């Protein structure tokens, strides 16, 4: 991929996301048509450059769309609406990484290393510290938090790589359950027309239960590692403890104020968590870096995001756009009725069984390299949960928890790929072998937990 191609893809991708935010605020029809043109141009440019697997999946969805159009009532207006339907997801994926500039320009990593260094001899405390660190940074950095927290774990010199992989993988995946800054939440809330407060607190409680369960799954490995560490001296890091405490406190302030402003905008003005997050991501890092007299660093990081990060996300972004079109056409085709007829006929009176079917449905497609974005889009746009004896909120939680559960064992996810590369462990070991018990625990817990709200 040449230099200018990357620049063009980055600019167009950012313009799509930025224009969607502006459109939400001003509701301009001209801007809406411009968005459609930009999306088509983006897809035309990126499709020939996609990895073979992603290209085949995208072309398969496009062929399926053409096939369904023969027997559907979809017209041109529906097609243009469909190609724009996942713009909230596209925008949050493109814009929220800008929040990572707060971390990269703030000198927080060394301070976090100091705090990690002070507790690493206690593996149980270390587990919770790294779990919450991955959670907190995951809100800002998405999968980038895995790389940073792996660097923090280097201080601890963990002998068992499975401990490292399980903490990073599962702490990140459970962030998907509740974080409004993640694509999964954005997609589900948008398609089901919900607010974060409709499902967020139940998702947070479930996340805590899962993390406690994960602690007990890892207990034997943690205990064995603790035995190895009992006679090993800690490694000092040359940084003043008071200084590191101030830096960690500043980081907590940044995270807290960012979340507070986001919820304030959403509750009082915008009533859209996606738009609130995007506005905060566009403005907050720029203002903070200006206050801290680091605007030059901000400009460099922004250019890196525009011309490197966004072009590198072309695989996912193309899937999101085409999956949105696929879902729109599907719900106006006869195939939606056939799917509902099958599901209602077999599981209409058994909501718990339906929850398990959703998990297995998403998992089955994920194992053959069809990512959850496709199946969750399909389910969230075509299934009426009331027909299965559950509320829209419980259905949303079912999709979120299922997405996270499947991500833990799917070998084709970005999480598994990053961990496999960093730990130098086969990707099937990182995903399927290490996380099978965790996945089975989720299959057991998800129906039980959700049944409490039916």
Distance (Å, rounded) from C-alpha 208 to C-alpha 253?
22
Predicted confidence at residue 412, as pLDDT, reads 64
Higher-confidence residue: 105 or 236? 105
Domain-embedded: residue 380: no
pLDDT number for residue 276:
87
For the residues 331-346, what does the mean pLDDT come to? 82
Residue-wise pLDDT for 206-257, tens only, equals 999 999 999 999 999 988 888 887 765 554 445 456 777 788 888 888 878 8
Of the pLDDT bands very low, low, confident and very high (cuts 50, 70, 90), residue 7 is very high
pLDDT(326) > 70: yes
* CA–CA gap between residue 400 and residue 206 (Å, rounded): 11
The answer to the question of residue 399 being in a domain is no
Mean pLDDT lowest among 17-26, 283-292, 303-312, 415-424:
415-424
The position carrying tokens 């897809």 is 43
The mean predicted confidence, pLDDT, of the chain is 84
**For residue 368, what pLDDT is reported?**
67
Residue 319 falls inside a structural domain: no
Q: Categorize the per-residue pLDDT at 40 as very low, low, confident or very high, splitting at 50, 70 and 90.
A: very high
Residue 247 lies in a domain: yes
Cβ(274)–Cβ(186) below 8 Å:
yes
pLDDT tier at 277 (50, 70, 90 boundaries)? confident
Residue 297 pLDDT more than 70?
yes
pLDDT of residue 231: 62
349 pLDDT exceeds 80? Answer: no
The pLDDT value recorded for residue 237 is 47
- 346 pLDDT tier (thresholds 50, 70, 90): confident
**Most confident option among 12-26, 327-341, 342-356:** 12-26
**Mean pLDDT across the stretch 191-200?**
90
Distances (CA, A) of 18 to 21, 288, 315, 323: 5, 20, 20, 21
The answer to the question of residue 123 being in a domain is yes
Tell whether the torsion through CA atoms of 80, 82, 87 and 93 is positive or negative. negative
Copy the structure tokens of residue 428: 């099937």
CA distance 353 to 358: 9
Choose among 252, 294, 260, 258: nearest CA to 112.
Answer: 252
User: How far is the C-alpha of 245 from the C-alpha of 114, rounded, in Å?
Assistant: 9
Residue 388 lies in a domain: no
Summarize the confidence of residues 20-35 as an average pLDDT: 91
Chain centroid offset of residue 350 CA = 30
**Domain total for the chain?**
1
Asked whether residue 231 is domain-assigned, the answer is yes
Note if the pTM is more than 0.95.
no
The answer, yes or no, to whether residue 57 has pLDDT greater than 90, is no
- Secondary structure string (H, E, C) spanning the chain: CCHHHHHHHHHHHHHHHHHHHHHHHHCCHHHHHHHHHHHHHHHHHHHHHCCHHHHHHHHHHHHHHHHHHCCCCCCHHHHHHHHHCCHHHHHHHHHHHHHHHHHHCCCHHHHHHHHHHHHCCCHHHHHHHHHHHHHHHHHHHCCHHHHHHHHHHHCCCCCCHHHHHHHHHHHHHHHHHHCCCCHHHHHHHHHHCCCHHHHHHHHHHHHHHHHHHHHHHCHHHHHHHHHHHCCCCCCCCCCCHHHHHHHHHHHHHHHHHHHHHHHHHHHHHHCCHHHHHHHHHHHHHHHHHHHCCCHHHHHHHHHHHHHHHHHHCHHHHHHHHHHHHHHHHHHCCHHHHHHHHHHHHHHCCCHHHHHHHHHHHHHHHHCCCCCHHHHHHHHHHHCCHHHHCCCHHHHHHHHHHHHHHHHHHCCCCHHHHHHHHHHCCCHHHHHHHHHHHHHHHHHHHHHHHHHCCC
DSSP code, position 333: S
Tens digits of per-residue pLDDT, 403-446? 999 988 887 676 776 777 678 888 788 888 899 999 999 999 99
Q: Is the pLDDT of residue 77 over 50?
A: yes
Is 90 exceeded by the pLDDT of residue 41? yes
- Give the per-residue pLDDT at 384: 87
Q: Is residue 357 part of a domain?
A: no
Please state, as a whole number, how many other Cβ atoms lie within 10 Å of the Cβ of residue 298. 21
pLDDT for 437: 92
DSSP secondary structure code for residue 232 in this structure? -
Q: Using only C-alpha atoms, what is the Rg of the chain?
A: 22
User: Of all residues in the chain, what percent carry a pLDDT higher than 70?
Assistant: 90
Of 301, 423, 315, 378, nearest in space to 55 by CA: 315
Residue-wise pLDDT tens digits, 368-409: 667 788 888 888 888 888 888 889 999 999 999 999 999 888
Examine the pLDDT at 20 and tell me if it is beyond 90. yes
Nearest to 329 by CA among 130, 15, 75, 14: 75
Domain, as residue range, for 147: 99-312
């Amino acid at each position: 991929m040449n230099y200018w191609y990357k620049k063009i893809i980055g600019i167009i991708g950012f313009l799509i996301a930025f224009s969607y935010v502006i459109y939400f605020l001003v509701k301009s029809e001209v801007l809406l048509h411009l968005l459609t043109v930009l999306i088509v141009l983006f897809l035309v440019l990126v499709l020939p450059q996609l990895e073979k697997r992603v290209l085949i999946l995208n072309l398969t969805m496009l062929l399926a769309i053409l096939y369904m159009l023969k027997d559907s009532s979809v017209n041109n207006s529906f097609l243009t609406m469909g190609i724009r339907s996942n713009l909230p997801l596209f925008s949050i994926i493109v814009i929220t990484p800008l929040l990572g500039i707060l971390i990269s320009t703030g000198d927080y990593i060394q301070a976090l290393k100091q705090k990690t260094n002070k507790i690493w001899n206690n593996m149980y405390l270390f587990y919770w510290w790294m779990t919450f660190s991955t959670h907190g940074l995951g809100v800002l950095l998405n999968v980038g938090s895995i790389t940073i927290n792996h660097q923090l774990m280097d201080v601890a010199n963990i002998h068992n790589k499975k401990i490292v992989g399980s903490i990073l993988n599962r702490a990140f995946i459970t962030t998907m359950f509740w974080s409004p800054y993640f694509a999964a939440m954005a997609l589900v809330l948008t398609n089901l027309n919900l607010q974060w407060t409709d499902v967020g607190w139940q998702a947070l409680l479930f996340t805590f239960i899962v993390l406690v369960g994960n602690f007990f799954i890892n207990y034997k490995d943690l205990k064995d590692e603790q035995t190895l560490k009992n006679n090993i001296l800690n490694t000092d890091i040359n940084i003043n403890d008071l200084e590191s405490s101030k830096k960690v406190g500043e980081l907590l302030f940044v995270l807290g104020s960012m979340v507070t402003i986001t919820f304030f905008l959403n509750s009082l003005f915008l009533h859209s968590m996606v738009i609130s997050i995007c506005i905060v991501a566009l403005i907050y890092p720029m203002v903070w870096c200006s206050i801290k007299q680091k605007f030059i660093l901000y400009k460099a990081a922004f250019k890196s995001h525009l011309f490197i990060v966004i072009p590198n996300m072309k695989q996912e972004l193309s899937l999101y756009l085409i999956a949105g079109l696929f879902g729109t056409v599907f719900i106006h085709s006869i195939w939606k009725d056939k799917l509902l007829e099958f599901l209602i006929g077999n599981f209409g009176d058994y909501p718990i069984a339906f929850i398990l079917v959703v998990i297995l449905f998403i998992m089955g497609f994920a194992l053959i390299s069809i990512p959850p974005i496709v199946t969750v889009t399909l389910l969230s746009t075509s299934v009426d949960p009331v027909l299965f004896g559950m509320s829209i909120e419980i259905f949303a939680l079912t999709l979120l928890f299922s997405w996270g559960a499947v991500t833990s064992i799917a070998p084709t996810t970005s999480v598994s790929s990053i961990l496999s590369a960093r730990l130098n462990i086969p990707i099937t070991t990182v995903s399927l072998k290490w996380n099978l018990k965790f996945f089975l625990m989720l299959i057991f817990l998800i129906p039980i937990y959700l049944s409490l709200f039916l």
